[in-house]
Amino acid sequence: MKQRVDGRGLEVEGRLMTLKETAAYLNLSQAEVYSLARSGELPAVKIGARGSWRVDRRRLETFLDGLHEATDRWVSANRLDPSVSSSNEATSDELLTAAEAAEVIGVTRQNISYLVRTDQLRAFKRKGRWMIFAADVENYVKRRS
């Protein structure tokens, strides 16, 4: 982040960061940071006559803490089967490809993608292919009937 020199010649770090600085800090693109700020998800302010976006460092840290807490809650609520190791080494009997899951449920592969994105089915990639937990597919079918 840019350091500036105050009237006494001391280097100080500014409280507000530009979207470019925020993007570098978060390892995101500037467009992603703008979108987060514009949507109100990222706490930011428009300042000055031209309405330049700025992000307060302290509020950014609070925002990140909130993301960590939300992620922790999500992980706790969406744990993988205890029988499945953290390296996703489930047996092939416990896993279905997206096409197999679609056939079992009676939907398209695009529908399976939607169910994964909306956390209705747990999945992970193995060698470039999406693998879905068979138990989740069975539970989904039971909930629908």
Average pLDDT, integer, range 7-26: 82
Check whether 102 has a pLDDT greater than 80.
yes
Flag whether 83 is in a domain: no
Run of H or E residues at 114: helix 109-117
- pLDDT for residue 75 is more than 90: no
Euclidean distance between CA atoms 14 and 32, whole angstroms:
22
Of 77, 101, 117, the domain-final residue: 77
Nearest to 133 by CA among 58, 27, 41, 119: 119
Whether 47 maps to a domain, the answer reads: yes
Average pLDDT score over the chain: 83
Segments forming the whole domain that contains residue 119 = 92-144
Is residue 97 domain-resident? yes
Residues of the chain with pLDDT > 70, as a percent, come to 81
Task: Kindly state whether residue 84 falls inside one of the protein's structural domains.
Answer: no
| pLDDT at residue 19 is higher than 70 | yes
Query: Is residue 16 located within the same domain as residue 72?
Result: yes
Q: Say which residue, 134 or 125, is predicted with more confidence.
A: 134
3 vs 8 pLDDT, higher one? 8
Residue 19 sits in the same domain as residue 53: yes
Question: Radius of gyration over alpha carbons of the chain, in Å?
Answer: 22
pTM for this predicted structure: 0.50
**pLDDT for residue 15 is more than 60:** yes
pLDDT confidence tier of residue 86, bands split at 50, 70 and 90: very low
Find the angle CA(34)-CA(17)-CA(3) to the nearest 5 degrees: 145
Token pair of 145 as six digits: 């009937």
At 41-63, the pLDDT tens digits run 999 999 989 999 999 999 999 99
- Domain assignment present for 87: no
Task: Give the mean pLDDT of 18-47.
Answer: 94
Q: Any idea what DSSP says for residue 79?
A: P
Share in percent of the chain as helix, strand, coil (round to 5): 50, 20, 30
How many domains does the chain contain in total? 2
More confident residue, 62 or 2: 62
User: Domain holding 56: CATH number?
Assistant: 1.10.1660
Phi/psi of residue 88, nearest 5 degrees: 60, 45
